[in-house]
Amino acid sequence: GAGVSQSPRYKVAKRGQDVALRCDPISGHVSLFWYQQALGQGPEFLTYFQNEAQLDKSGLPSDRFFAERPEGSVSTLKIQRTQQEDSAVYLCASSLRGVNNEQFFGPGTRLTVL
Amino acid sequence: SQQGEEDPQALSIQEGENATMNCSYKTSINNLQWYRQNSGRGLVHLILIRSNEREKHSGRLRVTLDTSKKSSSLLITASRAADTASYFCATDGDTGFQKLVFGTGTRLLVSP
């Protein structure tokens, strides 16, 4: 399909492990966002890319979180030394820059840290 | 932290009834959007209303916006079981045009 895809859909990690979550945005979308959604809550902004430039990373909760989008398309969110409080659904969204700001979301990756 | 809150937190109705959800936010905005999230799925964009608009319609959806009260409402008419989902409002806040700030969501259950 032509939508945003994310992989893996589910990830179980032991505390202290590193994880990498992948996002494939809609082709041609300039903007890419990562959000974190805790159980029963609304999504919370983590970081934003415009092409390959990370313009806003104010939502990243700690320096254990790192995101990249080296070629302005696929993005990876990496969490080092995972903690139990990192357990959440990680959502990726993309949008055409300057067009109504409608963001198209992927299905998310559900991360469980044991 | 969340931008605001949605009310009610949960709503249970019968098919055919109307469902109204309210959203309050904290800062000035350029636009407000409503999203739906089905269990186990990503967020689906429903409708966007700009800060200079007061009401907008899309099919069975009607959204109102009162910037003086920093509030919005989403009305779903003639609800269907397939409307069962969580509904979130999202604003672009006052930090720019890109980042979305979501409310806490309303969980809607429509029974056949």
Which pLDDT score, from 0 to 100, does residue B33 have? Answer: 92
Tens digits of per-residue pLDDT, A5-35? 999 999 999 999 999 999 999 999 999 999 9
Instruction: Decide if B106 touches A, using CB distance below 8 A.
Output: no
| Local mean pLDDT, 10-residue blocks, chain B (112 residues) | 76 97 90 89 89 96 96 97 95 72 93 94
What is the mean predicted confidence (pLDDT) over A67-95?
Answer: 96
Q: What does DSSP assign to residue A67?
A: E
Percent of chain A with pLDDT over 70: 96
Distance CA A5, CA B54 (A): 34
Closest CA to A69 of A25, A110, A109: A25
**Most A CBs within 10 Å, among B100, B106, B107, to test the A interface:** B100
CB B45 within 8 A of CB B107: no
Peptide bond into A70 cis (omega under 30): no
d(C-alpha A65, C-alpha A34), whole Å = 11
Chain B nearest-CA distance from A101, in A, is: 7
